[in-house]
Amino acid sequence: SDFSYTWKKDSLTYSLDAELDRVRNGENVTEVITCHQPQYWDYLQLQKGLVAFLDSFELDTNHYEIPPFKEDSVDCYDAAKVALIGHLYVDSTSAVDDSIFIERLKAFQLINGLKDDAVVGKWTGRALSKSNRDRFYQAALSLEKWRWKKEVPSRYIRVNIPEFTLYFIDSNEVKRKHRVVVGAYATKTPEFHATMVRMITNPYWHVPYSISSTEILYGARKDSAYFSKRGYTITQGGSSVDPTTVDWSSVKQGNFPYRVRQNGGGGNSLGRIKFLFPNQHSVYLHDTPSKRLFANDVRAYSHGCVRLHEPFDLAKSILELDQHKIQADTLDSLIIRGAQRVIELENPFEVFIEYYTATGDSLGNIIFHPDIYGRDEKYLTNSLKKFKF
């Protein structure tokens, strides 16, 4: 299932009757309720941001069709203007002034977790098509997820998939914040938590069968030098195979008999370091040679694993807090020399891969992130039908 958040009455740690009695006996109802809410910084900032959003905007129910920019740029921007007016980001009089319209469009993009470039692309169009009530429900669902979250440890990594961001937290302080690339829609990154136990420099990439039997097979059929160009080696039954001796046109996708491995190094798909937290999904964090993707605002391109921007800075921070015998200069040396080294952590810690489409920032603003996998939309649609909202 895509959703792990369900109402469980037996999970309450207090008596509802006792709490209602407190109100009947004269205690302030707000204080009775808020004493049970999470005290996570993220929850409280999201809560503040939602209050500010509700103070600034009406919960309109207007939905709009935004034509693709590439098909008709004039119609696209005209529709965007109508949507911004409908969502009360700009009034009809001010919207006539193109400079004001562009300014408000950029502000709209920022509050919806997008690059403020005033370009009405795919994701800006999707955000414009939604109503403010839709955004309210996104925030409400994210708050609900925080309410059902178990206590977090003092040190952990948290990846928020729709935010395309990793946080490394120690003693309630954000030590590192990194941009990430997550799974594409066809190969979604799952939600789970596991324990970070080791890092590997200059790792091999043992290519999953789902990729070797499709993408790599296709490449091999097109180019006889495909394997040597990319540093791939293949084996069958434990024995090495020369790929130039294989008739790739006769190899079928449903019966791919080889194991494929990519040697370590800068051109390796995992880059020069990976972070392992064993899990049933075989998902991990890793470097990547495709640095250009980190410049995009919506970063959903991977096969499911999480690609990390500036991974060595994260690794050095982990080693420092771990008080590990391998120091930053040693790590640099391993990377530069191309040496493969398994670095076992002295103090393993938790990694949480999560899906929150609304967050709050340090200034008390709310940010709505793209529901890239449609998980929240599906959950909310089913819930709203069930309760007839």
Which tens digit of pLDDT belongs to each residue from 49-99?
A: 999 999 999 999 999 999 999 899 999 999 999 999 999 999 999 888 999
**Structure-block tokens of residue 387:** 């309760």
Give the start-end residues of each E strand in the chain: 155-160, 165-170, 173-183, 192-201, 205-206, 232-236, 239-241, 259-262, 273-276, 285-286, 300-302, 306-308, 341-354, 358-360, 366-368
**Alpha-carbon dihedral angle through residues 71, 75, 77, 81, given to the nearest 10 degrees:** -150
Judge contact between 81 and 101, C-beta under 8 A. Answer: yes
Judge contact between 370 and 114, C-beta under 8 A. Answer: yes
Sign of CA dihedral 322, 291, 279, 356: positive
- What gap in Å lies between CA 356 and CA 376, rounded to an integer? 9
128-137, 163-172, 245-254, 367-376: which has the minimum mean pLDDT?
245-254
- What gap in Å lies between CA 22 and CA 264, rounded to an integer? 63
pTM, two decimals, is: 0.90
Q: How does pLDDT run across 250-264, given as a tens digit for each residue? A: 999 888 999 999 988
- What gap in Å lies between CA 171 and CA 61, rounded to an integer? 42
- What gap in Å lies between CA 142 and CA 134, rounded to an integer? 13
Partners of 308 in the beta sheet? 180
- Cβ contacts of residue 250 below 8 Å, gap of 6+? none
Q: How does pLDDT run across 21-56, given as a tens digit for each residue? A: 999 999 999 888 888 888 899 999 999 999 999 999
Judge contact between 168 and 351, C-beta under 8 A. Answer: no
Quick one: 264 exposed, middle or buried, by C-beta within 10 A (0-12, 13-18, 19+)?
Answer: buried
